Amino acid sequence: MEQTLYFILLLIALCSVSECVQRQYYFINVQKSWTEAQRYCRENYTDLATVDNMNDMNEVKNVSANPNNYVWIGLQRTSVNEWQWSSGDHVLYLNWSTGQPDGRDDECAVMKNGQWSDVSCSNSQTFICNNTNTGLVFVNQTKNWRDAQSYCRQNHIDLVSVRNQNENQQLQKFINDSHISGDVWIGLFRDSWQWSDQSDSLFRYWRSNEPNGAGGNENCTAITSNDALRDWNDVPCNTKFPFVCHEDKLILIKENLTWSEALRYCRQNHVDLVSVHSEEIQRRVMNVVKQASTGAVWLGLRHSCTVGLWFWVSGQTVCYQNWEIDDSENCDSAVRSGAVQSGGDQRWISRPETDRLNFICSRNEE
Ligand SMILES: *[C@@H]1O[C@H](CO)[C@@H](O)[C@H](O)[C@H]1NC(C)=O
Ligand SMILES: *[C@@H]1O[C@H](CO)[C@@H](O)[C@H](O)[C@H]1NC(C)=O
Ligand SMILES: *[C@@H]1O[C@H](CO)[C@@H](O)[C@H](O)[C@H]1NC(C)=O
Ligand SMILES: *[C@@H]1O[C@H](CO)[C@@H](O)[C@H](O)[C@H]1NC(C)=O
Ligand SMILES: *[C@@H]1O[C@H](CO)[C@@H](O)[C@H](O)[C@H]1NC(C)=O
C-alpha cells in the first residue's frame, strides 16, 4: 500500500518535469529573397523558421534581436484557400448567414442561431467538441480556434463537423438545450498560408490589418522591424531580407530496422530514439512521419512484461499517451515496442520488436 502511494507520488513528480526545446532557431544575417533563404536553410539546417506558438516567437525574436530590417520566416501564401473541416471530413454542406463569409484568409467559423460566420482564428470563443461515447460536448472556456482544436483532440476527438442539414439541426438543438448563448467555434477553417516545412501550425502573429495582400504579390511573411512587438507583415517574396532558419531536434531515418537496431543507430549517430512525452512533441512527430516509407515508425517506447508497463528508453515515464491500441496484456509473443502510425490518426501502436520499420531519432543539442 505504502509502496503504491510512493509509486504514484514518483509518477506525479516525474510527469511534471518541463519539456525541453524541440526546435533550435538560427539567425542568418545575410540579405536574400525568400526563395534563396529557403534554399539556404534547407541546405544548412532543416528549413526556414516555423513558429508554433508565442514561446517559439519569443525565441525567434531573441535570436534575431536588434535587426534594422524585416526578417523572413517560413510562412508563404499558397493558391489553396478552401474551407476545411478540422476532422478531415469533406466539406459538402455550408450554412453561412447572409453576407458571410466576409474575411480574406486566416478565417475560422463560429455558429450562432444555427448559422455560421467567419471570424479571425485568434478570437477567443467557447467551442463544441465531438466525443465518440457522449457525442457533442460544450466546453465553456474561451480559447482561440487552434487551442480549441488541440483541447478537443486531446480530450475528445476533434472540433465538431457539420456535414449536412440534419447535423446542423442536431447541433442547434444541442446549443438550445444546453442554454449556450453567443458564438461557438465549430471545426471549419480556411487558411491559404503554409509553412515551408509543411508543418500544420496555425499560429499567426500578424500586425493588425495584415496580411493585406497589397499589390497582389505579397506572398511571403517577414517579422517587422519598427517596434518592440515585431509582429508579422506580408511582403513580396523577391525582397531581400536576413532570415531565421530552424533545425528540428527530431530526424526521421528512412531505413527499415528492428527496434533494437534502430535504438543502436540513434544512440551511435544522434542521441536516442524519440520520447514523445507531450502533445507538442507528438505534433512534431506527426509532421516528421509524413515522409516515412513504412506504415508505422519506431518510437523509443518499450514494454516490460515484468512490471506490466510501457516506458521511454530515455528514462522518462509515460505520462502523455496517444494509443490507438495499448495491448499491455499481450505478453505471450515477442517483446513489444511502440511505434506511431505514419498515416491516418497517427496514433501509437504496439509491434513485435522484430518488425522492420523507419524510426525517429532525437538530434544533438549544439
Ligand atoms: C501570389 O499569390 C496569389 C494567390 O495565390 C497568386 O495569384 C499570385 O500569382 C502570387 N504572386 C506571385 C508574385 O507569386
Ligand atoms: C463524431 O466522431 C465520430 C467518431 O469519429 C464520427 O463517427 C461522427 O461522425 C462524428 N460526428 C460529428 C458530428 O462530428
Ligand atoms: C433553437 O432556439 C431558437 C430560438 O429559441 C428556435 O428558433 C429554434 O427553432 C430552435 N432550434 C432547434 C433545432 O431546437
Ligand atoms: C458558462 O460559464 C459562464 C461563466 O462561468 C456561466 O455564466 C454560463 O452559464 C456557462 N454556460 C453554460 C452553457 O454552462
Ligand atoms: C522499407 O520498407 C518499405 C515498405 O515495405 C519499402 O517501401 C521501402 O522501400 C523500404 N526501404 C528500404 C530502405 O529498404
Q: Which residue in 223, 211, 289, 278 sits closest to 19, CA to CA?
A: 278
Predicted local distance difference test score (pLDDT) of residue 131: 92
Q: Which atom of ligand 5 is nearest to the CA of 256?
A: 1
What CATH code is carried by the domain that includes residue 51? 3.10.100.10
Report the phi/psi class of residue 4: left, alpha or beta, with left for phi > 0 and alpha for psi in -120 to 50. Answer: alpha
Same domain, 186 and 273: no
Give yes or no for residue 238 having a pLDDT over 90: yes
Give yes or no for residue 210 having a pLDDT over 90: no
Q: How far is the CA of 69 from the centre of ligand 1 (A)?
A: 24
Domains held by the chain: number: 3
Range from 157-161, 278-282, 299-303 carrying the lowest mean pLDDT: 278-282
Written as one letter, the residue type at 261 is E
Predicted local distance difference test score (pLDDT) of residue 75: 97
| Residue 2 within any structural domain of the chain | no
Can you tell me which residue has the cell 505520462? 319
Q: How far is the CA of 88 from the centre of ligand 2 (A)?
A: 11
| Residue 12 within any structural domain of the chain | no
- The answer, yes or no, to whether any atom of ligand 2 lies below 6 A from the CB of 86, is no
Predicted local distance difference test score (pLDDT) of residue 279: 83
Between CA 186 and CA 126 the distance in angstroms is 10
Q: How far is the CA of 172 from the centre of ligand 3 (A)?
A: 7
Ligand approaching nearest to the C-alpha of 181: 4
Task: Tell me which residues have their CB closer than 6 angstroms to ligand 4.
Answer: 140, 178-180
DSSP conformational letter for 134: T
Between CA 338 and CA 352 the distance in angstroms is 9
The larger pLDDT score, comparing residue 223 to residue 147, is at 223
- The answer, yes or no, to whether any atom of ligand 2 lies below 6 A from the CB of 282, is no
What is the domain extent for residue 205? 23-79+196-247
- Phi, psi angle pair for 311, to nearest 5°: -145, 160
What average pLDDT does the structure give for the chain? 88
Q: Which atom of ligand 3 is nearest to the CA of 169?
A: 13
Q: What is the DSSP string of 9-20?
A: HHHHHHHTPPPP
Going by pLDDT thresholds of 50, 70 and 90, the confidence category of residue 363 is confident
The three cell numbers of residue 243 are: 532570415
Same domain, 146 and 182: yes
Q: What is the mean pLDDT of residues 200-226?
A: 87
| Residue 180 within any structural domain of the chain | yes
Give yes or no for residue 20 having a pLDDT over 50: no
DSSP conformational letter for 157: S
Going by pLDDT thresholds of 50, 70 and 90, the confidence category of residue 280 is confident
Q: How far is the CA of 296 from the centre of ligand 5 (A)?
A: 12
Same domain, 358 and 278: yes
Q: What is the DSSP string of 290-320?
A: TT-SSSEEEEEEEEETTTTEEEETTS-B--S
Can you tell me which residue has the cell 457533442? 136
| Residue 43 within any structural domain of the chain | yes
Q: How far is the CA of 311 from the centre of ligand 4 (A)?
A: 40
Same domain, 259 and 340: yes
Range from 10-24, 327-341, 351-365 carrying the lowest mean pLDDT: 10-24
Same domain, 142 and 216: no
Q: What is the mean pLDDT of residues 74-91?
A: 89
**Residue 292, Cβ density class (10 Å: 0-12 exposed, 13-18 middle, ≥19 buried):** buried
pTM for this one?
Answer: 0.68
Same domain, 212 and 64: yes
The three cell numbers of residue 221 are: 511573411
Same domain, 286 and 328: yes
Predicted local distance difference test score (pLDDT) of residue 159: 96
The number of C-alpha atoms within 13 Å of 192 and in the hemisphere containing its C-beta is 17
Q: Which residue in 86, 72, 79, 85 sits closest to 31, CA to CA?
A: 72
Between CA 203 and CA 125 the distance in angstroms is 16
Decide which of 247, 267, 283 is a domain's last residue.
247
Neighbours of 272 (CB within 10 A): 16
- The answer, yes or no, to whether any atom of ligand 2 lies below 6 A from the CB of 89, is no
Same domain, 271 and 355: yes
Same domain, 204 and 71: yes
CB 143 within 8 A of CB 151: yes
| Residue 156 within any structural domain of the chain | yes
| Residue 237 within any structural domain of the chain | yes
| Residue 14 within any structural domain of the chain | no
Q: How far is the CA of 167 from the centre of ligand 3 (A)?
A: 14
Decide which of 151, 171, 190 is a domain's last residue.
190
Helix (H) or strand (E) holding 125: strand 125-131
| Residue 6 within any structural domain of the chain | no
CA-proximal residue: ligand 1, atom 10 (nearest): 217
Same domain, 47 and 145: no
Can you tell me which residue has the cell 515496442? 337
